[in-house]
Amino acid sequence: MNSVGEACTELKREYDQCFNRWFAEKFLKGDSAGDPCGQLFKRYQLCVQKAIKEKDIPIEGLEFMGPSKGKTENS
């Protein structure tokens, strides 16, 4: 699947490959230490945020990385 921004697609593929490799070779075998894909994710996230702004995609009300500050589950 391509990314929301054409310029981000290659970063997405790199991150997906890194995550899938880590998940299969480490996490599923009980090794959950470290974050080998964190920097790739951050680069991809910044690219996606830029693409969303450039395409003027409304994102109000969406939660990207966990619950919104100040909100409870029942709000």
Query: Is 63 among the domain residues?
Result: no
Q: Is residue 19 part of a domain?
A: yes
- Does residue 44 lie in a domain region? yes
What is residue 41's predicted lDDT score, i.e. its pLDDT? 94
Residue 31 in domain: yes
Alpha carbon distance 48, 52 (integer Å): 6
Q: For position 72, what pLDDT does the model report?
A: 47
Task: Give the burial string for 41-51 (b: 16+ CB within 10 Å, else e).
Answer: beebeebbeeb
Q: Is residue 73 part of a domain?
A: no
47 or 61, which is more confident? Answer: 47
Provide CB contacts within 8 A for 7, sequence distance 6+.
47, 51
pLDDT tens string 6-59: 889 999 999 999 999 999 999 999 998 888 999 999 999 999 989 888 888 777
Q: Which two tokens stand for residue 7?
A: 């310029």
Q: Can you give the residue range of the structural domain that contains 30? A: 6-55
Give, for 46, the enclosing helix (H) or strand (E): helix 38-54
Asked, for residue 28, whether it belongs to a domain, the answer is yes
Question: Given this model, what pLDDT does residue 73 score?
Answer: 47
Number of domains making up the chain: 1
Q: For the whole model, what pTM was predicted?
A: 0.70
